[in-house]
Amino acid sequence: MKTLAFVLPIYNEEGNIPLLYERLVGVAAALEGRFTCEFIFVNDGSRDRSLSLLRGLRAADERVSVYSLARNKGHQIAVTAGLDVADADAVIVMDSDLQDPPEVSHALIEAWEDGADVAYAKRRTREDGYFKKLTAGMFYWVLSKMARIDIPRDTGDFRLMDRRVVEELRRYPERNRFLRGMVAEIGFDQRAVEFDRDARHSGETGYPLSKMIKLAADGIIGFSSFPLRLISAIGMVLAVGAGLWTVYLAVSRLAFPDSVVEGWTFITAGMFLLGGIQMLMLGVLGQYIGRIYEEVQARPLYAFAVAEHGPLPR
Ligand code: UDP
Ligand code: MG
């Protein structure tokens, strides 16, 4: 029988864990006889009762493994930790707030059995706020323009991956992780399965704007050097423009010696404009350099404070 592992990152999901588990068990029951299922919960430093709830589940069901990171490391790292410990023919990653309906797994498995190595769940519709939809739309648009590989749009980390994809993923050591881009980069046979994304069942998002920006930056910077090339492009346009304008000024001054070139307002405005552009571009450089620094430090991605797995002690 084939083995299937669910990887479930958990950050303050006490209100979702019971129902999530119930629905996962339902999915596993429907797969009985075909797959042995395992539920890998990775607690990402939750501040609520999530960890004790998870341990409660584990005490009664040995299909449940509970790993707990030593502190909050963020969604992408939590998923990475889960993928690192998963030992199954296929792994399904999904959010734990029931925005990704566990039942969609059946369609993902179908695609896998049909030969796909990655079956990613693509949102046909989503029940998120206005702001989230708008910013997500902008992000995927920019990413598709800039990234040097095709990263599927409207697709989160909800996906099934064959064992060989998970094994490839383990060879990616980067600290600033954008998993959906990394998976796209790996290749193999990747297929979309459309679904309607639900609203968060309970609790609030663990992705405030600051984390969304960090993830977007990881996606763009991790998969594109376009921002760096943009610096030269802007510099080029400004330099050529300024050169032509200088020629024009010189010529008009020579042709009409009486003309006075008024300009201190312009000089001040231009100074601030140029200063602003330069600092912005330094910031772009800084983003890349900061990431280089983090990669060079090569610190471990996470530490487990709790790792409960395998058969229950009797
Ligand atoms: N999550 C996590 N660590 C974090 C933030 C979120 O493990 O620091 C988990 C969270 O429990 C959920 C998934 O990542 O399972 C997606 O997070 P969330 O639903 O809060 O994000 P949103 O859907 O609002 O983008
Ligand atoms: Mg969510």
Give the Cβ contact number of residue 298 at 10 Å.
9
Per residue in 120-136, pLDDT (tens digit) is: 999 998 888 888 888 88
Give the mutation target among 75, 76, 179, 198 for probing the ligand 1 site: most ligand atoms within 8 A of CB. 75
Counting atoms of ligand 1 from 1, which one is nearest the CA of 78?
7
17-30 and 105-113 are packed helices; what angle lies between their axes, rounded to 10 degrees?
40
* CA–CA dist 221, 238 (Å, integer): 24
Three-state DSSP at 193 gives strand
Per residue in 126-183, pLDDT (tens digit) is: 888 888 888 888 888 888 888 888 889 889 999 999 999 999 999 999 999 999 999 9
Ligand nearest to the backbone CA of 93: 1
Q: Spell out the domain ranges in the chain.
A: 2-208+299-308, 226-297
Antiparallel, parallel or unpaired: β 35-43 and 2-10:
parallel
* Region 38-56 average pLDDT: 97
Per residue in 235-280, pLDDT (tens digit) is: 889 888 988 988 888 888 888 877 766 777 778 888 888 888 889 8
Query: What DSSP string runs through 104-141?
Result: GHHHHHHHHHTT-SEEEEEEEEE---HHHHHHHHHHHH
Kindly list the protein residues whose Cβ atom lies closer than 6 A to any atom of ligand 1: 9-11, 13, 44, 72, 74-75, 78, 95-97, 99, 200, 205-207
Name the average pLDDT for the chain. Answer: 92
Ligand nearest to the backbone CA of 212: 1
* CA–CA dist 117, 188 (Å, integer): 6
Do 101 and 198 touch, CB atoms closer than 8 A? yes
Do 139 and 219 touch, CB atoms closer than 8 A? yes
Give the mutation target among 73, 95, 209 for probing the ligand 1 site: most ligand atoms within 8 A of CB. 95
* CA–CA dist 57, 65 (Å, integer): 9
CA of 88 to the centre of ligand 1 (A): 23
Burial group, residue 72, by CB count within 10 angstroms (0-12, 13-18, 19+): middle
Share of the chain above pLDDT 70, in %: 99
User: SS3 string of 143-181?
Assistant: HHHHCCCCCCCCEEEEEEEEHHHHHHHCCCCCCCCCHHH
Q: Architecture of domain 2-208+299-308 in CATH?
A: Alpha-Beta Complex (3.90)
Cα–chain center distance at 134 = 17
Q: How large is the ipTM?
A: 0.97
HSE at residue 47, side-chain half, CA atoms within 13 A, is: 5
Q: Which of 187, 183, 185 is nearest to 156 (CA)?
A: 183
Counting atoms of ligand 1 from 1, which one is nearest the CA of 12?
11
Question: What is residue 149's predicted lDDT score, i.e. its pLDDT?
Answer: 87
Q: Name the residue at shortest CA distance from atom 13 of ligand 1.
A: 95
Least confident residue range of 46-60, 104-118, 271-285: 271-285
* Region 90-98 average pLDDT: 97
